[in-house]
Every structure is written in C-alpha cells, then in structure tokens.
Amino acid sequence: MTNLKPANTTPVADAAAADPAAPAARARSGWRSLLPTMTPWLAIGLVLVAGIGLFGLLGPLFVGDPQQIRDQGLTPPSAEFWLGTTQTGQDVLAQLAYATRGSLQIGLLVGVLATVLSAFFGIYGAYRGKFLDDAFSLFTNVFLVIPGLPLVIVISGFVPRESRGLWTIAVVLAVTGWAASARVLHAQTLSVRQRDYVAASQVSGERPWRVIVVEILPNLLPVIASQFVFAVIAAILGEAGLSYIGLGASNSATLGTMLFYAQNGFALSLGAWWWFVPPGLMIALFGMGLSLVNFSIDEVINPKLKNLRQHRKRARRALRLERDLAQRARRTPVKETDR
C-alpha cells in the first residue's frame, strides 16, 4: 500500500525530468495557435492602441491643469501650447490627455459589461437549447433591430442630470449594445456544443456551469476577445455621441465632452480646428487600432482568413514574377533584333 503512491507518480515525474522541454513546448504551441500572427497591419494596430492607451494613462501626469483659464483665448498651436488653447485659454493638449483617459475608462467599463451580457444571453441560451434558447434568441434579435442610440438618448433624457453618473451611462450603453455579439457567440456556441468532448463531460455528470466554463468557454475565447474589442469601439463612439449632444455623464471629461464644448464655443465658425480635430482623430485612430487588432483575432477564429492572406501574398509574388518575366522577355527580343 505504501508503495503504490510513489509507483504511480514516478513515471510522470520521470517523463518530466527526462524531457522537460517537450510538454512545455507543446503547451506553448497550443497557446500560440490562440495568438495572432504578426503582420504589418497588426503592428500598426498594436502601436496605435498602446500609444493612445499610454497617453491616456500617463498623459495626465505630465500636462498642466486642463481647467485653468488664461487670457490667451483661441491661440493656434505654438511652442507653449502644442495644440493651442480653447476660447477661455485652456490648454487643449491637457484637456485631450484627461479626456482620452475618461473615454478609455468608459470604453473598458462598457466593453466588460456588454461582453458579460452577451456571453450570458449568447452562450447560456445556446447551451441550454430548447425553449430558453428560443426565448433568448428572440430577445437578442429584438434588441438588435431596435436602433440603439435613439433609445440611449431617450433613456438619458428621462434621467435627471444630477443622477446621471458614469455608471448610469455605462449601464445604458451596455444594455443597448450587447445584442450583436450575443448573436455571434450564440452561433459559435451551437457549433462547439455539438462536439464529442462536451457530450462526454455531460454524460460523466458535470454540472452545466462547469461544462460551460471549462469545456466551452476556452474554445470561445478568441470570439469573445474580438467581440470585446468591438464593444469597446462601439462604447467609445456611443459615449462620444452622447456627450457631444450634452447627455453624457455629468462632471465627466471625455473626448465627447471636449467636442461638446468646442461646438458650444463656436470652434467651427471661428475656424479653431486645433480644438475640434484632435478629439475626433483620437477616437478614430484608437478605433482603427482596435479594428486592426481585430482583423488578426479574426484570423485565429477563422483560419480560412489566414490562408487567404497567404494566398494574397503568393498572388502578389506571382504577379511580380510575371511582370519580371514579361520585362525580361521584352528585353531579349530587342537584343536579338539589334543583332
């Protein structure tokens, strides 16, 4: 009896000691298949996202007070104020740093909330199937066709301004923005649910939540990641729109509120482009960076797309080769006639 335990464990320990690299390498390649391949576009995306993220995170530490009013109103970009000043002489760069932080904050918050909602309705519904699935699907589709922003505007319109905090706006944006990704997750879960190992774990008596979390969820990770990225973009855009029309969270500073003040300060008719261009550009570049990252995540989800990219690369190379050959062919006859 006392012998049993060591006898059982030795082979495993031996194998690990004999070739420590083998399982580690296998594990790494398993994880690597979940990571996207590096492409120039992915690199651009990562640089954009990381750059803007760092600017939002660290920028506020290096700039002055964004609210400080000076008597140099509406000066164009200069050495002192890199992005000029607003009508009341506030430093646009300082405002931009704080606003970026605010927008990223709400983007992440809504991204997480919306992903949780969509995972619940998409995955749980598809896993349980039958009536619950039909009900959840109907619910999702209904939310999908009801236009989101008008609904958000109406809800925010009814909430009194004092009680319109960051969380209120985040919840409203999440509640109106989860449906599309729930549908994607639903379709993916349906296909994962059919696989044998899921059936095996069900037969062996695993509880439903364990089957979902341990067997199904890891296979959906890339899809969830991609949907999360989409949710963050949508949230930042939605919040910007809401703040721009003055319905954002009270006493918050986001890129949308910056544009709101620029509009109300007649930046457009005064020609103060340095006031209203940077905030929107920041949103657009961050959104572009996230979409580019998403392209690469999509390749992980759908390996066909990766083949596609390689096919494209080959096609490009073939095209170049053809052109070279044609050129050479053209050159050769010329030489022959010369002779």
Positions in the binding site for other proteins (CB under 8 A)? 41, 138, 141-142, 144-151, 153-160, 163, 180, 233, 237, 240-241, 244-247, 259, 263, 268-269, 271, 273, 276-277, 279-280, 283-288, 290-292, 295, 304-305, 308, 311-316, 318-319
Distances in Å between the Cα of 204 and the Cα atoms of 198, 207, 216, 296, 314 are 10, 9, 16, 37, 48
Whole-angstrom Cα distance, residue 148 to residue 144?
8
Find the shortest distance in angstroms from Cβ 271 to other proteins. Answer: 7
Find the shortest distance in angstroms from Cβ 183 to other proteins. Answer: 9
Nearer Cβ to other proteins (171/217): 171
Nearer Cβ to other proteins (215/299): 299
Find the shortest distance in angstroms from Cβ 36 to other proteins. Answer: 14
70 and 90 Cβ atoms separated by less than 8 Å: yes
Find the shortest distance in angstroms from Cβ 286 to other proteins. Answer: 7
Whole-angstrom Cα distance, residue 65 to residue 91?
8
Find the shortest distance in angstroms from Cβ 32 to other proteins. Answer: 23
Structure tokens of 168? Answer: 């209120």
Nearer Cβ to other proteins (65/134): 134
Whole-angstrom Cα distance, residue 252 to residue 240?
12
Give φ, ψ of 91 to 5 degrees.
Answer: -70, 120
Nearer Cβ to other proteins (79/145): 145
User: H or E segment at 68?
Assistant: none
Find the shortest distance in angstroms from Cβ 139 to other proteins. Answer: 8
Nearer Cβ to other proteins (146/213): 146
In the DSSP assignment, the letter for residue 38 is P
Nearer Cβ to other proteins (101/164): 164
Residues 6+ apart with CB under 8 A from 296: 36, 37, 39, 41, 42, 45
Nearer Cβ to other proteins (23/157): 157
Whole-angstrom Cα distance, residue 178 to residue 185?
11
Nearer Cβ to other proteins (129/150): 150
Find the shortest distance in angstroms from Cβ 151 to other proteins. Answer: 7
Nearer Cβ to other proteins (64/150): 150
Give the 3-state secondary structure of 126-154.
HHHCHHHHHHHHHHHHHHHHCCHHHHHHH
- Residue by residue, DSSP assigns 240-282 as HHHHHTT-S-TT---HHHHHHHHHHTTHHHHT-HHHHHHHHHH
Whole-angstrom Cα distance, residue 121 to residue 124?
6
Find the shortest distance in angstroms from Cβ 199 to other proteins. Answer: 25
Residue that the structure tokens 């109907």 belong to: 138
Find the shortest distance in angstroms from Cβ 200 to other proteins. Answer: 30
164 and 147 Cβ atoms separated by less than 8 Å: no
Whole-angstrom Cα distance, residue 170 to residue 181?
17
